[in-house]
Amino acid sequence: MVKSGTAKKNGLDTTIQTLGAAKIPSPLNHARFVEQDERLELNLTEEESDVDGAHGLPLQFEKAGPSGKLYFDSSKVKCAIVTCGGLCPGINDVIRAIVMDAYHHYHVASVIGIRYGLQGFIPKYGHDIIELTPKNVSNFHVFGGTELGSSRGPQAADEIVDALERMNVSVLFMIGGDGTMKAAARIVQEIKARNARIGVIGIPKTIDNDINFVSRSFGFDTAVEKATEAIACAHVEATGAYNGIGMVKVMGRESGFIAAQATLALKEVNFVLVPENCFALEGPDGLLEQLEQRLRSRRHAVIVVAEGAGQHLCEVSGRSDASGNPVLCDICALLISRIKEHFKARDLETTIKFIDPSYIIRSVPANANDRVYCGFLGQNAVHAAMAGKTGMVVSRLQSRFVYVPLELVTMKRKKLNTESDYWRAVLESTGQETLGVLPAAAKS
């Protein structure tokens, strides 16, 4: 452990912003307090961050946990919670953990829930707020999704800060993915420009596990567990037909972590397609030829496809969704069509069964491991807020909870390293070849 006022290394600054000096004694009893600026020195792996300079050399991160001195008089604090973006197992668990810790341990004056994402701050949408208490959040964890509702799309930071000031909010907890964390950074900038004293704490949420400086995002474990159930069904369908092909589509817009992890968890997968690997369809090393070889030798095959895989094979629409993400082509529809054409030309009978469990996966309640994880995230978010931290997210790195500046987690999205030991293990599990990865010129 290291104690330091600032931590800048490899060109990356891990220093956490504060609203001011923490001088008020904590109301927590029997707590082991984290000393001010106490840091953990960690060597990050490629699976934890692919930001330049972030792995190979140690970085210092501020240790998460309760502080002996607080910035806020917690009994006078009003908190707000907002959930943004797509659904993910565990959101309600995080909300519940924040409310329970804020009330029972810090005795805050109030916690409110903002309805339907950042729209809830903007008067023209007319969304009501919800008073969140230990009583009305007690069963939140039983349900999937978010009890506060969510939405996509940007909202003006100045209007959001206007609303925070009108409601006399001291701390805003933002639960969301890459776009939400970028919005949080803009809100922090607006607060600083007004010289206001409002803390903004992020809890990174992405079912795709594509946020940098987060070892595993909450909900990912549940998503993998549910994905393996669908893959098992696809395997049954494939083995039940002559030359049967089971295809499963899983979430993963830009990163194939769910597809890769589910493949490792269930050894029945024969081909896994991820966005990071611009595979070839045709040719001796292409998917179609390898699939044909597989069927001729074993008479069945299972293919797992991340939703963002194979976009280099599609016609680019140029359109974006409300969050600014490119609208993806339906890669599975394309694959099914090309597979049918390929085997028809060879006069080979095949049966394809396609399963898309995406909305089931993201809508279910969190499993036991994710619930524990969400509890720690919510608690540490409250500890950070009461100590006056701002412009940061709570993260778990190498089983340790730390605080990470928003600027770092939003630098770029984390992706699978297809030259890593992890990806090698995935390929060994499937037995597939490299599928004739296309040269850079052919990817565009």
Rg of the chain's alpha carbons, rounded to an integer? 23
- How many other β-carbons are positioned within 10 Å of the β-carbon of residue 412? 14
Q: Catalytic: 370?
A: no
Tell me which of 50, 101, 178, 208 is the catalytic residue: 208
d(CA 438, CA 443): 7
**Secondary structure of the chain: what % helix, strand, coil (to 5)?**
35, 20, 45
384 close to 277: Cβ distance less than 8 angstroms: no
β-strands 244-250, 300-306 pairing:
parallel
d(CA 337, CA 331): 10
d(CA 333, CA 393): 38
- How many other β-carbons are positioned within 10 Å of the β-carbon of residue 129? 15
267 Rama class: left (phi>0) / alpha (psi -120 to 50) / beta: alpha
Rounding to the nearest 10 degrees, give the CA dihedral for residues 389, 391, 394, 395: -130
β-strands 17-18, 59-63 pairing:
unpaired
300 close to 245: Cβ distance less than 8 angstroms: yes
For the chain, first and last CA: distance in Å?
46
Residue 234: both structure tokens together: 């696809």
In the sheet with 300-306, reading across from the earlier edge strand, the strands are 271-273, 300-306, 244-250, 351-355
75 Rama class: left (phi>0) / alpha (psi -120 to 50) / beta: alpha
Active site residues: 208
